[in-house]
Structures are given as C-alpha cells and as structure tokens.
Structure 1
C-alpha cells in the first residue's frame, strides 16, 4: 500500500492568508480524528466494547452460578470486571475444570463474587476497593484518579496479583501510591488545556479510560519508577502514571493523552480486524526507531503492533500541540514547548507510518490496513498546520 506521506513540512509565514490556512487545516484534522466512522474518537467505540463486556460477563455468570444476578452496565464498565471476565473466559475455554491452577480458581471465585454482588445489588469490581477523585473539566476532559486502593479480596485481589505476576511483571519494582495535591493540580490544569485545545474530541479520547493510578518506585528514595506512563490491553480502561510526569500540566496531560490513545486502540483491536488472523506480535518483523538507543532499558526493536500504537499516539499528540500553539500557549513549561513538541511528534508519526508501509505487509487485517492509510492521509493536512519553527536540539523532554 503506497502511503502519501510528504517528505518535508510545508512552511507558512505570518500573513493573514497563511494563518487562516493553518487554522482550517487544524480544524479539519480534529474533525477527522473525532468523526471517522471506524477510527474516530467517537464514544461509540468504547460503548461497543462495554456492550460486548456486558454480554461476556452475563454469559460467564450463567455458566458459573445456578441463580446468577444480571450484571448491569456499570458493572460491565468497571475495569476490574472487564479484566476479570477476560481471564475467566480464558480459564473456561476448553479447560479441564477438575485440574485448574490455583490462580485460575481465584479468578473464577472472584467472578462468582461479581455475580453474587450483581444479584444482591452490592458494590463490586474496582469500584468496591478504590476511592477516586475526578479531575479536569466537568463538561469536557475529565479523569478519575485513584486516591486509595484496598484490594481485600475478589476483583481487587486478582487485579493486584495479576499486575505484579503477569501484566506489569517486566517493570522495575513498583507500588501504587496516592497522588499528592500537586499531582492532582497538574492533572486538573492539563485536562482543562486538553478540553480547550480539542473540544469534544478531548472527552471522546478519554472515553476509553475509566481509572488512573499513580505508580511510584517501590523504593521511596527513587524518584522515578522507570517509566513515565503505562497501559496494557490486559487491563482495559486503566492507565498508570509515574509521579515524575505529574510535575506540570503539559507533562501530565501528554502522558494521559498518550495512554488514552493506546486504550482506544486496544478497544479497536477487540472490535475490528486490525491485525490478520493468527498474528503473533513477537513473531512480526521488527525495526528500531531512530530515536531509540540500543542502550535504553527498552531499546529492543519494535514489532508491527508497537509501531502502529506509537504512530496512532503521535498523530494525536501532534494535533494537540498544534492546537495549543494556535491558542498562543507557547513556552509555558520547560521541555514542553508546544511548537517544538508538535514538530517532534509529527516527525515521529511520519517515520512510523512510512515504516508500517513496509513492516506491516502481511501482518495487518483489512481494518488495520485502512487505519494505517487513514493516519497517512492525516499527516499532510496536519503538517500544513504545523507552526514554522526552528527548534533547537534538546529543548523537548524525552518521548517514548
């Protein structure tokens, strides 16, 4: 598939006609990011996944309980229940129930607990063991941030156990921690900026995130847990933020938008043929992006899935920083100057999309090929909206 990616960025001067062209290009990109019937950020994508989760949860309860309650929409939306239902389905799929591993027994017992709670109208899922504070714009981009987590039993215990043993096992030692007042203030202001820049697109992007945790290094003397932010398709609707990223509004919201866009792609992969049938991520062709050093803790070559995920993120980030630049929000936070950030994200998106043209051959499903072509189509439009700048090296904070 030949992708129409431009070789270099169009440059505009400061004349009125150019400014109008910049504004119109940015508006068209935002509208396309929101309204594309398959890949746009409409809340319908998240809703489709949650509807599917509701069907799976109730089917599991029918299989496990003689007189199950019917899980409602709120239960099916709970990230812990979504995670648990996927684990339970995997346990039951062709398994010999008389020889289950202890961890599988724990999963099924927790699923039975969800059914009992649904029957009795009692709290269940992460909602029963997490206290959270909502930050952001009440009428736009907002996020529930966990302020307390008490995984006594059931879903919460399985959630914490699987995070440690399986989903996040490759990370340096970590602990879930309560956000500070400064963390919450940075998120609050950052999400307000996201609403200002993206309008209804901001709320739609965050429709795929139900809960955020702050994850610190296990050793309290270590400032960073070894990552800025993290998400995993095994834990749908949850993002994890390192405290060192919550020191300013742009740093905070960039990582939130980064992970929210990943969560959107996870949901797309559940509902669309993004990768071909039988695709195995670890067996796909690989390439190391030029900005990654082999000496990095995560410096190994990227497969097709990670390359696509990064391209998807950087198109959204470039659009966000272009919009902030148009609003005059420049030079406000060290390392996060919007014009410099916009160009950096665009450059990376361009390299990643071009790489997918070669790396993705034979790896994508029909929807995946269309997704890559869509991202490629957005790049020239987005490039024409980029501010004309000459950014000095080293002026931007590191990007993953």
Structure 2
C-alpha cells in the first residue's frame, strides 16, 4: 500500500492528467490556435489575432475569466458545429477588454487564498449600466442558477473569506501536490444558497457555463474540513474540464449513455461517471490524509467530521457509504462494463486512476474477478455503445489543410486549428509524424516512410497499422485531403 504522500504525488505527477502546469500549457496552446481560427473565420473580430500572440501569463488570465472563456468556448463550439452567426460572442468584448475583466469588475478584488492560487472571491460588481462584461456575467449567473430560490452570489463577510483561506490551507497541508494543482485551476469563488425542492446547494463548479468558477454554501466554509473537501471536489471538476478539452474521453455518441448508480435513483451519463470517479479516487486519498493527520494539524484546524467528503445517497443505502466503495464501483463500470464507450485517451485516464487506487488499496481489481454467474445482469433496454466507422483514406497525393499550429514537443503533442472545416485538433507523436509526411506523397508512400522512420521503435506491422490509423484520423478531421 502506498502512503498518503506517495498517492498525492502519483495523482499530481501524471503528465496528461495530473500535472497542472502541463494541463495549463495545453489549454494556452489551444486558446492560441482557437483565437487564430476565429480571427480567420471572422475577419471583423478585431484583437483576436493580437491576443493569440500574447504571453502565457496574459492568456492564462483569459482562461480563468468566466466571461471571456465562456464566449471563446461558445464561439469554438458553434464554429465546429457549422452554426452561422453575424458575429462571434468574443466580438462583444474584444479588443477593449483586459485579459481578466471579471476581476477588474470586482473593484478591489479579495484573494480567496493568498499565496496558494490565483482565485479571487466574488464580493460584488462595479460595472456601469450597459457594461457588456457585467451584462454577460449576470446572464451566465442567471442561467446557472435559474430558480427563484437561489441567492447567488452572497457577499461574504470577513469570517467567510477567512474560512475559504483556511480550507485551502488545510487542503494543501493534507495533499500538498494535488492541492496546489487544483487551486491553480480556480479563478473565481462565489458563495451562494439555493434551498430548492431538489435539495440545498452545498457546492458546485461552473463547468462550461461559468468556466474556472466554483460556488460554495456559506455553511461549507464555516469548518475548514468541509471547505477543504468542497474546494477539492469542485476544483477537480474544473481540472477535468481542462483535460477533456485536450482530447476526447468518450467516443462520439456515447457521452449521454447511462450507467445505473446504486446510491442514486437516477442513472448517470458516461461523462458524469468519469467526473465522479475522478473526484472519488482523490477523495480516497483526502480522507486517508485526514485520518492520519498529526496532532499539529488537529490543533490548528480541529478534528475532521465523521462524514467528510461524502455527497448525498439514496436513503437507506449503506453499501456505498465511503469514497473507496464508490470509487471502486465506478472504476469497475468504466474499466470493465462500459470500456467500449471510451476513447484510447479516456481508457488511459481511467487506467491511471484505477492504477493509483490499486496502489493505495491492493486487490481492488481482483475483487472484480467474480464468476460470470455472480455478475449483475444487464438491465433491459440499455443502449449499446455506438459503432464507429473509420473514415476512408483519400487517394492520390495527400496534402495538409491550411491550419494554425502550436507544437508541444515536451508533451509529444501538436495542436492544430482549421477554419474550414472549423475545429481544433490534437495529434500525438504518431499522428503528428503521419501528418508531417502528407506533403504530396500518396498513402502508400506515407505508410512506407512512416515504417522506415520508426524502425527500431515498433515492429513493421504495428507501424503500418499506426500509419493507416493516423491517415484515417487525419482524413476524418479534415486535416488532409487527396486529389
């Protein structure tokens, strides 16, 4: 069994899924090429190309601003879907907006956890009537909290601001690597209440609706253990949003297929299961760190509550009453039952989480290896995973579509954006090499040269398969064409 500290390091060190700096660099690269693509598609989008050339610090501020980031993601999604509009959403804010206009609206912003991360606390808005940033922010807030019962945001008092900071301090004390990584992804923190018929608001992340933003109930910041758990939970959701923008986790058509969850009445979508297992695996480490907290931690923050880091469950359901039980169930579903819904990137993500959980709880996978007759039968009416048809490889000389690109050689990635068809594309080393060879050679020549260039790394049959798969991927994405 790995120690809590070693588990913390494992969760924060993975170059694709844990390393906060690497994840941020990928999203900055994606922002650069996405802005260039939008500038080409909308010649009137003044300031986009100039912003794409800005330094990494400026673009990171952009990524953490809910209004600018939401507008960018909306424009990118609509362009990719072929939605025609008179002007992109970003045109309402560029070129006049700063890289962090929501922070500017806060007047004198209050740091959520000084010295530990960039987030500021939403204490109010200083926007003038008609200010486009303030108007957009209000609209995003109303869309996220439409119920008349919602009171969001609530201006925090000094004790509540201090409670946020103490929660972050506790989180980084218990899990220094993961805590620092999660706090890096949070840009805005708001307090709010929403005592709706579905239940009270405890905490929620903004996701695509309000990127880089989390909301907590004021009750959640009264105790540092509750605050630390909520910040970790919602911050992890923001991290996975960033990860998922750098590669598809689920095959086309499978994101909304459901999985029955024994501690909840309503089934969860495949994407929700991915988000949940990501949280629960981290919560296994968090609760273990809480159990092992030394006397100096307990003297500083008090004792942890008995129900630390647990969310709601179906009344009377006790079998899945711990993060470990829930993480194990979700992991088995993703690795065994619905693995065909995941892309190779998605399977790598799940394998990383399950390997880390297995290192902490040896024998986890072995507990799944029951005789077939003991497995729960499939429920009738379960939708099958979609059948994916590989695109045809074009004939004749292969050429690259016009694209803007940012190379990330230390991450073995190339990110490209094409204006026609509009889209952002991620290539690994194999598909990157295949793409580079599409310079007028036909498919047979590309395949032969690929095999020659990777000789000694993989066997010829594997190399030919990689080249053909890469050509099909490139053709399906519109990145190459033939005569």
Q: Does 1:147 align with 2:123?
A: yes
Q: How does 1:323-362 map to 2 (within 5 A)?
A: 323-328=289-294, 329=297, 332-336=303-307, 344-362=322-340
The structural deviation recorded for 1:322 is 1.6
Matching of residues 177-196 of structure 1 within 5 Å = 177-196=154-173
Residue 204 of structure 2 is aligned to residue 230 of structure 1: yes
- Structure 2 distance, partners of 1:236, 1:32, is 26
Cα-to-partner distance string for 1:38-93 (whole Å, 9 max, x where unaligned): 11143210231133224323543562537536224245322321111112334455
2:423 match: none
* Structure 2 residue 44 is matched with structure 1 residue 65: yes
Shift of 1:136: 2.8
Question: Which structure has the highest helix share of the two?
Answer: 1
Change over 3 Å in CA distance of 1:333–1:117 after alignment to 2: same
Match of 2:218 among 236, 239, 243: 243
For the aligned residues, what is the CA RMSD? 3.1
Larger RCO of the pair (alpha carbons < 8 Å, separation 6+) = 1
TM-score by length of 2: 0.62
C-alpha distance 212-60 of structure 1, shift in aligned 2 (>3 A) = same
| 1:287 pairs with 2:253 | no
1:336 Cα deviation from its structure 2 partner: 5.0
> TM-score, normalising length from structure 1?
0.73
Give the C-alpha shift of residue 347 in structure 1. Answer: 2.0
The within-5 A match list for 1:305-384 is 305-328=271-294, 329=297, 332-336=303-307, 344-383=322-361
Whole-angstrom CA distance in 1 between matches of 2:106 and 2:35: 21
Match of 2:469 in 1: none
Corresponding residue number in structure 2 for 1:95: 83
User: Between Structure 1 and Structure 2, how many residues are aligned?
Assistant: 333
Q: Distance in 2 between matches of 1:170 and 1:373?
A: 39
Map 1:3-82; keep pairs closer than 5 Å: 25-61=3-39, 63-65=42-44, 68=47, 70-71=50-51, 72=54, 73-74=58-59, 76-77=62-63, 78-82=65-69
Residue 225 of structure 1 and its aligned partner are, at CA, apart by: 7.7
SS of corresponding position for 1:291: coil
Structure 1 residue 198: deviation in Å?
1.7
Distance in structure 2 (CA, Å) of the matches to 1:271 and 1:123: 22
The answer (yes or no) to whether the contact 1:325–1:338 under 8 Å persists in 2 is no
C-alpha separation in 2, matches of 1:169 and 1:50: 31
Superposition deviation, residue 254 in structure 1: 0.6
How far, CA to CA, are the matches of 1:355 and 1:380 in structure 2? 15
Q: Could you tell me which residue of structure 2 aligns to residue 262 of structure 1?
A: 237
**1: distance between equivalents of 2:147 and 2:250?**
24
In 2, Cα distance between the equivalents of 1:191 and 1:367? 31
